[in-house]
């Protein structure tokens, strides 16, 4: 059932669908083509890039691209080949979830109910069969929780745990959070604590070493400097130019009211994400009841510790990244555990009601469990239709790719020559056109001109979704003497899209 639903959903995803997946897919293609870990675009300026091509995965981690590239290499390339390993992982998710439930409850009925819930995993379904870390993280997170919850901790489990944390880190930068539950387990060891810790660190180092070596050879450092991400004052600061404009002094100058407001907003948004996306709306109370019922299980304790650390990180340290999808992405690590706890919570609730109403709990439990699966299936269908449905055609999943394909077709029809394009979504535009691209910086027209000069930009594609400081240019696209309006188009909302030629040397070619 899991394979059928994930597979059918994946067939509707004829393109990667959003920037993260587009990025991973482009780099996978380049790995297969022999171009290595390089980007034919710049999607941020945080490391002050010298030009195109640019070393890849300095922000996002490489494992999704590696997995997609391996599949493309053996299956002959193409988007469907890239999807294949993720469909496999997503298809087995109900089995993984049932296994967690069986480990927690030793009850096959609970395992069946948990597995059926995982067949229809709500908002997560569209993301399981695309090239991203969702499916990977669900398996790695579950494996780590299971390893760390074992009572017979020894050198072998410590080594495997260290390797698992490395895999989590290679999947997502916040994978290092799994070090926290690992430290707790180290502290709980009654003997050979230092040996256990050494094996844990050794496993992690062994897993990360190939990537660190690549970074040393390419960048001269083991890990790129991402300290700018601490000092964002808005999500758009991620695309600021130059990078050194994002710093502690500017962050403090924004004022404590703005700093605290950003974290308050992230608290509200992440709370809503927990309720709606992660808690599947109506299942969250049962997840919490199930966690309380099994609160003495180390597996549950470690999962709760990780989730609390994740929520703290994505709310108070990286509020903009967290509120804009980081929390949802990384919560995939606890998805099997939370779905496994749901039928336990339903059983506890039914038992509590049965005592007070003199019910026999068996029949109500079957009814409520079946109702939960049906309700979750309805929610899953609705959430998936929102992303992959027919309004607009292909849903919002294909909207961006179709828009860029249409823009590129009009550019080709007008006989325009290939040059670097400044655009909102460089990975997406590259996939649609195969033209090199840089991201439109978060700044005014003067900042855009600096980027155009430094990275030899030939075209600027100015869309309705643009930095606030570029609103004057959007309202009057012919107002800058270094830009020439070449084409005017419309997006799916009827807003104008302008293609502007960069006039190099001050005159039209």
User: What average pLDDT values come out for the chain (509 residues) when binned by 10 residues?
Assistant: 95 94 98 96 94 95 98 93 97 97 96 98 96 97 96 92 98 95 91 91 97 95 86 93 92 95 97 95 96 96 97 96 95 98 96 83 90 96 86 73 93 93 97 97 96 96 94 95 94 89 67
Is 336 within 8 Å of 358 (Cβ atoms)?
no
In a domain, 121, yes or no: no
* Cα 105 from chain centroid (whole Å): 31
- pLDDT score at 467: 94
Burial 151-177, CB ≥16 within 10 A → b, else e = eebeeebbbbbbbbbbbbbbbbbbbeb
- pLDDT score at 392: 58
CA quadruple 373, 374, 380, 386: dihedral, nearest 10: -170
DSSP label of 415:
T
Neighbouring-strand partners of residue 502: 483
Neighbouring-strand partners of residue 457: 420
- Per-residue pLDDT of 471-504, as tens digits, reads 999 999 999 999 999 999 988 778 999 999 999 7
In a domain, 172, yes or no: no
- pLDDT score at 508: 42
Given the structure tokens 């990667």, which residue do they identify? 16
Q: Name the residue among 169, 146, 159, 191 with its Cα closest to residue 62.
A: 169
Neighbouring-strand partners of residue 498: 462, 488
Is 442 within 8 Å of 413 (Cβ atoms)?
no
In a domain, 73, yes or no: no
In a domain, 339, yes or no: no
**Both structure tokens of 134:** 């969702």
Is 492 within 8 Å of 392 (Cβ atoms)?
yes
Q: Name the residue among 125, 222, 129 with its Cα closest to residue 169.
A: 222
In whole angstroms, give the CA distance from residue 270 to residue 316. Answer: 11
Number of domains in the chain: 1
Strand 457-462 relative to strand 420-423: parallel, antiparallel, unpaired?
parallel
pTM above 0.75, yes or no: yes
Q: How many residues in total does the chain contain? A: 509
Residue 257, exposed/middle/buried by CB under 10 A (0-12, 13-18, 19+)? exposed
Strand 457-462 relative to strand 483-490: parallel, antiparallel, unpaired?
unpaired
Q: How many helices (DSSP H) and strands (DSSP E) are in the chain?
A: 23, 8
- pLDDT score at 262: 96
Three-class SS of residue 359?
A: coil
In whole angstroms, give the CA distance from residue 440 to residue 437. Answer: 9
Is 96 within 8 Å of 141 (Cβ atoms)?
no
Detail the DSSP E strand segments found in 304-398: none
In a domain, 282, yes or no: no
Residue 460's CATH number: 3.40.190
- pLDDT score at 304: 97
453: containing domain: 395-506
In a domain, 433, yes or no: yes
């Amino acid at each position: 059932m899991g394979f059928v639903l994930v597979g059918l959903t994946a067939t509707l995803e004829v393109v990667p669908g959003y920037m993260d997946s587009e990025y991973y897919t482009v780099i996978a293609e380049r790995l297969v083509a022999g171009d290595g870990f390089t980007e034919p675009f710049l999607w941020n300026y945080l490391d002050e890039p010298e030009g195109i091509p640019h070393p890849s995965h300095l922000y996002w981690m490489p494992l999704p691209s590696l997995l997609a590239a391996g599949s493309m290499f053996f299956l002959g390339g193409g988007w469907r080949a890239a999807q294949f390993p993720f469909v496999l992982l997503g298809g087995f998710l109900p089995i993984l979830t049932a296994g967690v439930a069986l480990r927690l409850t030793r009850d096959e009925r609970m395992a069946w109910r948990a597995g059926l819930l995982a067949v229809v995993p709500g908002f997560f379904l569209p993301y399981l069969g695309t090239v991203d870390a969702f499916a990977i993280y669900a398996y790695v997170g579950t494996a780590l929780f299971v390893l760390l919850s074992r009572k017979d901790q020894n050198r072998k489990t410590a080594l495997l745990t260290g390797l698992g944390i490395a895999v989590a880190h290679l999947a997502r930068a916040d994978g290092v959070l799994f070090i926290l539950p690992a430290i707790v387990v180290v502290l709980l060891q009654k003997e050979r604590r230092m040996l256990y810790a050494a094996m844990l660190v050794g496993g992690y180092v062994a897993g990360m070493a190939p990537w660190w070596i690549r970074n040393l050879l390419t960048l001269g450092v083991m890990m790129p400097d991402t300290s700018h991400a601490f000092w964002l004052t808005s999500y758009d600061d991620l695309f600021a130019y130059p990078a050194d404009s994002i710093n502690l002094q500017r962050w403090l100058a924004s004022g404590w009211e703005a700093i605290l407001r950003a974290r308050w907003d992230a608290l509200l948004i992440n709370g809503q994400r927990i309720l709606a996306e992660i808690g599947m709306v109506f299942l969250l109370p049962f997840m919490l009841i199930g966690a309380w019922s099994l609160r003495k299980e180390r597996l549950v304790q470690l999962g709760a510790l990780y989730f609390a650390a994740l929520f703290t990180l994505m709310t108070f340290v990286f509020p903009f990244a967290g509120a804009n999808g980081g929390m949802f992405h990384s919560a995939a690590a606890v998805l099997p555990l939370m779905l496994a706890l749901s039928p336990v919570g339903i059983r506890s609730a039914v038992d509590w009601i049965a005592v007070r109403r003199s019910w026999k709990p068996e029949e109500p439990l079957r009814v409520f469990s079946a109702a939960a699966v049906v309700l979750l299936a309805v929610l899953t269908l609705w959430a998936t239709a929102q992303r992959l449905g027919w309004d607009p055609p292909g849903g919002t999943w294909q909207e961006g790719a179709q828009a860029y394909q249409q823009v590129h077709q009009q550019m080709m029809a007008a006989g325009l020559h290939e040059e670097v394009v400044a655009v909102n979504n460089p990975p997406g535009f590259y996939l649609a056109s195969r033209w090199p691209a840089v991201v439109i910086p978060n700044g005014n027209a003067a900042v855009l001109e600096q980027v155009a000069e430094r990275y030899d930009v030939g075209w600027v594609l100015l869309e309705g979704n643009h930095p606030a400081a570029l609103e004057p240019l959007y309202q009057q696209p012919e107002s800058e003497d270094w830009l020439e309006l070449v084409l005017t188009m419309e997006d799916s909302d009827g807003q104008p899209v302008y293609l502007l030629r960069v006039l190099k040397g001050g005159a039209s070619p």
